[in-house]
């Protein structure tokens, strides 16, 4: 996933720490995987330390990256508890650790591993759903951020508006998530599938992502009551049954389609067959939205929520921004694009240019690697 040609350096042992890794899916997982493979391509020894689905540890190797899945004894507030993680950190002897937030237990493991080298916290989003556990988790998070040498954040506006990060702005480095443009090449085979999908001539909206509470999908399904068209929902998650029931309640089962996880070629066909891609997120659990970049690379206009970071992925020429959770605004914007195909085309073309200029994953990974070099050089 990406090229690292033309850069030379001495090999380092690097560790990425999070809950999940490929083949698990998600925006954080894809960003993490892209950089791990990039760093491996530079000749580094790269390991991803994540949670196992079993009580025992497992090891695997994917595309140049070693993956250690530490034994998990259960989950608390969707957080895998892996007692062996501190020992794995000591055993792996990394020169630098990048921990992906939000994974509070991983932060605890890092702080209790006796690791003394450079630390990067990749701060993907603010925690919002830990309830009474917040009092336990908040000190671990703040101690980890205090321990960090650098903090990667998608955008300055997200960091400055974060109740946590505003005390650590001097450590923040602003680098957005990226996508490999080559993945979104329209081949003749995919074009044939797109023609098939669009044969009925109906307006098509698309959502791609995890079916989670913060994605605002209930509002998008509700908005489809006022839109003469189809909605394809690609992804898996706990909300799948709720969304199916909601579509049935609104008599939309023939127009709202939950497709689950799709193979790469099928997903690409859905992007190209769509008239618009929608990211209706409702909380700071969304800080970017890689699906917006993927949509733009496919020449599609985007509708997103007015949230810090999220609404800055595109611009006025590429993206329509609506208030989070506003069903009427979603429906009205969908209908405006439905009734103006020329506008959709113009927005899609502008989006494609922006995605190629701003979000090429190789360029962004090279920026991340510069930060690594600074920290690794400081430790020599």
Q: Measuring CA to CA, which residue among 138, 147, 73 is closest to residue 111? A: 147
**Does the N-terminal peptide bond of residue 70 adopt cis geometry, omega within 30 degrees of 0?**
no
Residue 38 has pLDDT above 50, yes or no: yes
What pLDDT is attached to residue 380?
A: 41
Q: Do residues 92 and 205 both lie within one domain?
A: no
Q: Do the Cβ atoms of 112 and 134 come closer than 8 Å?
A: no
Cβ-based neighbours of 18, under 8 Å, separated by 6 or more: 28, 29, 32, 48, 49, 50, 99, 100, 103, 106
Q: Measuring CA to CA, which residue among 243, 235, 237, 241 is closest to residue 217? A: 243
What pLDDT is attached to residue 26?
A: 82
Q: Do residues 47 and 155 both lie within one domain?
A: yes
Separation CA 252–CA 323 (nearest Å): 24
pLDDT digits (tens, 9 = 90+) for 232-261: 999 999 999 999 999 999 999 999 999 999
Q: How many domains does the chain have?
A: 2
Range of the domain at 20: 13-178+360-378
Task: Answer whether 0.85 is exceeded by the pTM.
Answer: yes
200: left (phi over 0), alpha (psi -120 to 50) or beta: alpha
Q: Do residues 173 and 191 both lie within one domain?
A: no
| Pairing between β-strand 58-62 and β-strand 65-70 as defined by DSSP bridges | antiparallel
Q: Do the Cβ atoms of 206 and 270 come closer than 8 Å?
A: yes
For residue 1, tell me if it sits in a domain: no
Q: Do residues 174 and 231 both lie within one domain?
A: no
Q: Do residues 169 and 244 both lie within one domain?
A: no
Average pLDDT, the chain: 94
Separation CA 60–CA 3 (nearest Å): 22
Q: Do residues 108 and 19 both lie within one domain?
A: yes
Q: Do residues 306 and 367 both lie within one domain?
A: no
Domain of residue 288, CATH code: 3.40.50.2000
User: Which pLDDT band holds residue 10 (cuts at 50, 70, 90)?
Assistant: low
């Amino acid at each position: 996933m990406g090229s690292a040609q033309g850069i030379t350096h001495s090999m380092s042992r690097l560790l990425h720490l999070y809950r999940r890794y490929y083949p698990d899916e998600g925006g954080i997982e894809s960003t993490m995987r892209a950089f791990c493979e990039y760093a491996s391509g530079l000749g580094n020894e790269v390991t991803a330390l994540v949670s196992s689905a079993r009580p025992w540890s497992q090891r695997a190797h994917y595309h140049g990256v070693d993956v250690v899945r530490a034994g998990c004894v259960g989950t608390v507030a969707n957080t895998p508890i892996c007692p062996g993680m501190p020992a794995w950190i000591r055993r792996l002897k990394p020169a630098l650790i990048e921990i992906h937030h939000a994974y509070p237990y991983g932060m605890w493991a890092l702080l209790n591993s006796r690791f003394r080298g450079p630390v990067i916290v990749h701060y993907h989003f603010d925690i919002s759903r830990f309830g009474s556990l917040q009092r336990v988790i908040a000190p671990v998070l703040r101690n980890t951020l205090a321990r960090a040498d650098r903090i990667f954040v998608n955008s300055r506006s997200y960091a400055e508006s974060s109740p946590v990060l505003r005390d650590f702005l001097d450590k923040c480095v602003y680098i957005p998530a990226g996508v490999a443009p080559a993945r979104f090449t329209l081949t003749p085979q995919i074009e044939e599938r797109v023609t098939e999908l669009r044969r009925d001539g109906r307006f098509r909206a698309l959502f791609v992502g995890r079916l989670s509470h913060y994605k605002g999908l209930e509002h998008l399904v509700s908005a489809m009551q006022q839109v003469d068209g189809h909605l394809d929902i690609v992804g898996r998650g706990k909300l799948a049954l709720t969304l199916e029931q909601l579509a049935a309640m609104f008599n939309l089962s023939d127009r709202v389609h939950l497709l689950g996880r799709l193979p790469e070629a099928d997903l690409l066909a859905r992007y190209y067959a769509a008239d618009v891609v929608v990211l209706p997120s409702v909380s700071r659990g969304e800080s970017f939205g890689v699906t917006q970049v993927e949509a733009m690379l496919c020449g599609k206009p985007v509708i997103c929520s007015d949230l810090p970071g999220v609404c800055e992925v595109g611009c006025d020429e590429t993206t329509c921004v609506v208030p989070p959770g506003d069903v009427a605004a979603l429906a009205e914007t969908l209908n405006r694009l439905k009734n103006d195909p020329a506008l959709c085309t113009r927005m899609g073309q502008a989006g494609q240019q922006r995605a190629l200029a701003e979000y090429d994953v190789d360029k962004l990974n090279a920026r991340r690697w510069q930060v690594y070099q600074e920290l690794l050089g400081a430790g020599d």
